Chains A and B, each alone.
Chain A
């Protein structure tokens, strides 16, 4: 099987990113009498239905935007990287609408949509957002799992503005934005923003696997083109599920390998990144280079595992040491790269890994992201316990419990937020709305699949993948996540839930599928996650920064957080369990982000 893939690598793998000027894009649909010049205009302005529509590339902004592409009278720009061009070209030819084999990925995706409709989007395997000028309408497409993203908002004069850069919308003079307090609450609850919400009032993020129509009258229509389906049957054997999954994993990795170039893999030493490393080493016809992180020899790390995997797979291995001083020095700039903040202490290390990959002359890095939300990683047990003890049958009860399992600042809001902020939030929509639809979706027959679905659609699309994309793109690198491949995801949801979480063994079917590739000590090691010394950083190199930022005049003037609570947390008090570091990290990230966006 491996040999087959190696032979077909040249034909099947994604092409290298074409030489391009780093860019994001903007499209607008404005009242026809507007005569404001759009910077970077590449298409239009066209008059349609009393509107003036146009598309622009914001060159110089890190990103992979390309265009314009015009097919059947419709013009589009987008950030599109497809991993299965051959399949898509064949599908178009079979439909009697062949495309030029050398056409750009964005044009190919546009053709697929125009010729095949939602089937064409479903068939596309890749990372993309596409913005189509469709008469006076703007049509926006985000890929299946959310590897790339974009945002939209109304303009002051009743038009629409869309961009793959949130900052571009923030900087528009015809858009009224300000801080959305409800989004602040969501961020403090989840450590990221789990749905359409952004921290800019009136600006929404695209949802993955969906097509969004923006109408001139202000109406928004969202239609899903792909959603994982739980279609498990008990008939096939465990071996059948594992071997099918293995085949899909090999395809997913092979498609994402860079043709004619060494491949980079970010290797934490966990089973997910290890299996991607092992498959890449087997399937690529060029060397594979692996990259790991250490926070210093005196702190716990997983270098033993990552070193073992690197040696086992024969990769060129490089360990980056990320001292707390570096984190302190680079945190502000790193947070500023994110369109929505994530309270993830690995942002600076992730950025430094992307820099290392870029410095080695590579443009594609693979990672093991996705194993947990797709195959049943940790954190499901508390929700099963909740269900075992559940005395409230309302749908709301499950969603509320889910908020608590995040263990961020949800419980602390009454003492963390100021009275004014709490009063303003009294009528705001509840954060449970982001998770409740998934946790009460009876099309998913099992609790576990509901939890995985929720995790895929919230954390996967709005935290993991967007963070990877923004940080890698800033270095001109494409971060690719084979475990989020939509066929792999489809297969995972078609697999009986008890094969994903088998007893207490998490991701059992995934481990079973790759058991021969890795040493058992790696495959069946207990899950530990990347242990980040946040508390040490906050007591040491980040203590001054944290105090200045969180207790300084700017934060006090903004009036979001109670200084007495922040001070208590900084002294190590006020909480039953020692989670001060993680909570303060959230506040610090938010404060830096707000400053970066001048809010």
Chain B
């Protein structure tokens, strides 16, 4: 007989699974389901939109894993994925044209989730993970052939995520525009996402100077927010809208986002 706590978690898990899959039978990772289950247990994210805050997770990963193990009928995508082999067909013209956009996704599991939901076909955008860096010269050349080609970097609100953005920008060189659609602390606060504390700390001066001091301090204090914390439907819609080049919400406070945007940062839609 499961304990009351287990029964509560099980119920929240099933509800979260249903929410993650909507609309249109979306596929999602175990980690995305973890965050949704946490929200189902304690819906602190439902606070007023005008308030900006992040939450802390209530559900322990171990208890979630145990609950998921009790429900093998609830499918999830894996959280750990091996690098994808590249096995194109024998035709030789793949790089003869132009790729106007590319997405580098920090989290291989999230990249797998985007691919499983066929976002690369929908947005006509290759999705690669940091393992594929440096990008092959043929691909860079095919991108350079498109006027205004953009490399988007989708990353966590974390020092590692920002570092990835800077690394991609350096690698892409001056001919390609590199933009981040990654999370920043302000986005996490606007979306009321749960933050992980106690992560690796760093010096605020190691973070991009364009970020407001408060956000640098927040990140330097060892807090991060994972991409997986965003509900799958929101993540997919936002990424697709950004790839297609529109639909950005105006910044709530012009000063800080403007500075961020100067370096390529873009805002997430306000909730």
Chain A hits for B84, CB < 8 A: 389, 391
Q: How far is A415 from B90 in the complex, measured between Cα atoms in Å?
A: 36
Which of A's residues lie within 8 Å of B, judged by CB? 381-382, 384-393, 398, 401, 404-405, 407, 411-412, 414-415, 442, 445-448, 450, 497-498, 501-504, 573-577
A-B contacts, CB under 8 A, total:
107
A390 B89 Cβ-Cβ under 8 A: yes
Instruction: Find residues 118-149 in chain B having any chain A CB closer than 8 Å to their own CB.
Output: 118, 120-122, 124-128, 139, 145-147
Q: How far is A447 from B88 in the complex, measured between Cα atoms in Å?
A: 11
B26 close to A (CB within 8 Å): yes
Chain A hits for B99, CB < 8 A: 381, 384-385, 388
A388 B126 Cβ-Cβ under 8 A: yes
B245 close to A (CB within 8 Å): no
Q: How far is the CB of A233 from chain B (nearest CB, A)?
A: 15
B46 close to A (CB within 8 Å): no
B85 close to A (CB within 8 Å): yes
B92 A446 Cβ-Cβ under 8 A: yes
Q: How far is A405 from B127 in the complex, measured between Cα atoms in Å?
A: 16
B139 A388 Cβ-Cβ under 8 A: yes
Given the known interface contacts A388-B94, A389-B84, A411-B24, the answer about A577 and B89 at a Cβ–Cβ threshold of 8 Å is: no
Interchain Cβ contacts under 8 Å between A and B, 14 examples: A381-B97, A381-B100, A385-B99, A387-B88, A391-B87, A398-B89, A446-B91, A498-B96, A502-B97, A503-B98, A504-B97, A576-B236, A576-B237, A577-B240
Q: How far is A382 from B93 in the complex, measured between Cα atoms in Å?
A: 15
Chain B hits for A398, CB < 8 A: 89
Q: How far is the CB of A195 from chain B (nearest CB, A)?
A: 22
Q: How far is A503 from B86 in the complex, measured between Cα atoms in Å?
A: 23
Q: How far is the CB of A578 from chain B (nearest CB, A)?
A: 10
Chain B hits for A401, CB < 8 A: 121
Chain B hits for A573, CB < 8 A: 23
Q: How far is A407 from B145 in the complex, measured between Cα atoms in Å?
A: 27
Question: Size range of the interface on B?
Answer: 35 or more
Q: How far is A415 from B26 in the complex, measured between Cα atoms in Å?
A: 12
A498's nearest neighbour on chain B, judged by CB, is: B96
B58-97 interface code vs A (CB 8 A; 1 in, 0 out): 0000000000000000000000000011111111111011
- A389 touches which of B91, B126, B145 (Cβ 8 Å): B126
Given the known interface contacts A381-B124, A404-B118, A576-B26, the answer about A442 and B90 at a Cβ–Cβ threshold of 8 Å is: yes
A390 B124 Cβ-Cβ under 8 A: no
B233 close to A (CB within 8 Å): yes
Q: How far is the CB of A252 from chain B (nearest CB, A)?
A: 27
Chain A hits for B89, CB < 8 A: 387, 390, 393, 398, 447
B124 A385 Cβ-Cβ under 8 A: yes
Q: How far is A575 from B117 in the complex, measured between Cα atoms in Å?
A: 12
- A384 touches which of B25, B97, B147 (Cβ 8 Å): B97
Chain B hits for A389, CB < 8 A: 84, 86, 115, 120, 126-128
Chain A hits for B98, CB < 8 A: 503-504
- B97 touches which of A414, A445, A503, A575 (Cβ 8 Å): A503
Q: How far is the CB of B176 from chain A (nearest CB, A)?
A: 14
Chain A hits for B97, CB < 8 A: 381, 384, 448, 498, 501-504
Given the known interface contacts A385-B125, A391-B86, A576-B233, the answer about A503 and B146 at a Cβ–Cβ threshold of 8 Å is: yes
B93 A388 Cβ-Cβ under 8 A: no
Q: How far is A502 from B90 in the complex, measured between Cα atoms in Å?
A: 21
B115's nearest neighbour on chain A, judged by CB, is: A389
Chain A hits for B26, CB < 8 A: 576
Q: Which 6 A-B pairs have the closest CB atoms?
A: A446-B93, A503-B98, A381-B124, A393-B87, A382-B121, A498-B96
Q: How far is A11 from B116 in the complex, measured between Cα atoms in Å?
A: 58
Q: How far is A574 from B92 in the complex, measured between Cα atoms in Å?
A: 40
B127 A576 Cβ-Cβ under 8 A: no
A504 B93 Cβ-Cβ under 8 A: no
Q: How far is A487 from B230 in the complex, measured between Cα atoms in Å?
A: 54
Chain A hits for B146, CB < 8 A: 503-504
Chain A hits for B124, CB < 8 A: 381-382, 385
A414 B25 Cβ-Cβ under 8 A: yes
- B25 touches which of A404, A415, A497 (Cβ 8 Å): A415
Chain A hits for B100, CB < 8 A: 381, 504
Q: How far is A577 from B23 in the complex, measured between Cα atoms in Å?
A: 9
Q: Which of B86, B88, B127, B240 is most buried by chain A, counting CB atoms within 10 A of its CB? A: B88
Q: How far is the CB of B32 from chain A (nearest CB, A)?
A: 15
